[in-house]
Amino acid sequence: MIDLYIDFDGVILDTITTTYDIMKQANIDTTDDNNTKLFYKNLDWKHIIEVTKEINESYSCIRKIIRSKRFNVHILTHVHSLHEIEHKVYAIRKNLGHDIKIIAVPKGISKAEMVNPKDAILIDDFSQNTEQWEEKGGLGIRFNTELEDKGFLVIDRLDQILEYTFEVENGINKKLSRNS
């Protein structure tokens, strides 16, 4: 089976929109890295996860992907604090059970450095993550509700991954085809 890594923020839950709205209301300058890091580190992640909407039935889609038995599914998420990962893990366990592996990546470290991307798939909304993934021999799929591809295969529902056939042979990028 192929390893499939799924991002959390902007893919499963729309936490990016939620947190940007809060920053805007608080007049936090998002161009100031120090203020932004401090904001995310001190956020009430329990509240953020409770009030943030799920994107395109992501949990249901992930359960469908798991049931297909085509992928080893993992959640690969950037985090700013232990409080953040605690509440993300709780939300994932509540919605997907305890059999799914969750990997927390400290903000500032590349996801492609945290796990081995070779012949694995990453679904992520941030194109820099998918670029780094592909540089290390994996396949990056961009998740975007507006279907803006930025040079990558793009999906707007996680279960759309099941519409494709992936074969690991001399690099996954050369063996991608859409099912009929």
Amino acid code (one letter) for 167: E
Question: 38 vs 43, 106, 150, 165, CA distance in Å?
Answer: 9, 14, 30, 42
Query: How far, in Å, CA of 13 to CA of 167, rounded?
Result: 29
Provide the whole-model pTM: 0.92
pLDDT tens digits along 122-143: 999 999 999 999 999 999 999 9
Q: Where are the domains of the chain?
A: 2-13+55-178, 15-51
CATH code of 2-13+55-178, in short, is 3.40.50.1000
Query: How far, in Å, CA of 61 to CA of 77, rounded?
Result: 18
Query: How far, in Å, CA of 95 to CA of 176, rounded?
Result: 30
Average pLDDT over residues 78-102: 95
The structure tokens listed for 130 are 């998918």
Dihedral (C-alpha) 120, 125, 127, 133: value to the nearest 10 degrees?
Answer: -20
The structure tokens listed for 163 are 């519409």
Query: What pLDDT was estimated at residue 148?
Result: 86
Residue 103 in contact with residue 87, Cβ under 8 Å?
no
